């Protein structure tokens, strides 16, 4: 009994200082990189969330839900093309920074005789928005690791 108690005490004495070191040592870089790609203090990947908000910052926001990962803009009329307006919905689908973790849906309307009428959106437009968001998210991640 005393021997097993002594053994348990020795294990605790050895293990506590090691546990206090936490992320120090050879594994620290790997843990930092893993954590950096999966920052989720708001319910979704923080890099994708921030990148989405940055990318859509020129549009008025109608709804944002950081826990659910949804951003919905209001209609935006480009001053250079006043007969056209766009609305964007971004959905962040994963907690990790991955290419398939962000989905963009766009609506487009054109003004015909004073009436807004639905019009098709070029697939390249939606893809370009996703690419811009992903590029910005990767840039934010790199900046957080570097500094």
The answer to whether the predicted template modeling score (pTM) of the entire model surpasses 0.85 is no
Determine contact, residues 23/33, Cβ cutoff 8 Å.
Answer: no
**What's the whole-number average pLDDT of the chain?**
80
Give the residue from 28, 63, 47, 64 showing the smallest Cα distance to 101.
Answer: 47
The pLDDT score that the predictor gives to residue 12 is 40
CA 13 – CA 1 distance, rounded (Å): 18
What tokens were used for 70? 């949804």
Whole-number Å distance between alpha carbons of 147 and 144? 5
Whole-angstrom CA distances from 85 to 53, 103, 117 are 19, 20, 10
- Please indicate whether residue 91 or residue 38 has the higher confidence score (pLDDT): 91
Please write the tens of the pLDDT for every residue from 63-112: 999 899 999 999 999 999 999 999 999 999 999 999 999 999 999 999 99
Quick check: 24 pLDDT over 50? no
């Amino acid at each position: 009994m005393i021997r097993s108690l002594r053994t348990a005490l020795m294990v605790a004495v050895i293990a506590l200082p090691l546990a206090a070191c936490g992320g120090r040592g050879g594994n620290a870089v790997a843990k930092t990189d893993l954590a950096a790609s999966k920052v989720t203090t708001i319910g979704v990947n923080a890099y994708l969330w921030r990148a989405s908000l940055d990318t859509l910052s020129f549009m008025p926001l109608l709804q944002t839900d950081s826990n659910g990962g949804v951003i919905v803009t209001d209609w935006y009329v480009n001053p250079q093309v006043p007969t056209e307006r766009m609305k964007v919905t971004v959905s962040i689908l994963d907690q990790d920074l991955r290419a398939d973790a962000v989905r963009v849906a766009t609506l487009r309307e054109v003004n015909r005789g004073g009436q807004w009428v639905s019009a098709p959106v070029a697939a390249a437009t939606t893809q370009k928005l996703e690419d811009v968001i992903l590029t910005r998210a990767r840039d934010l991640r790199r900046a957080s690791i570097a500094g």
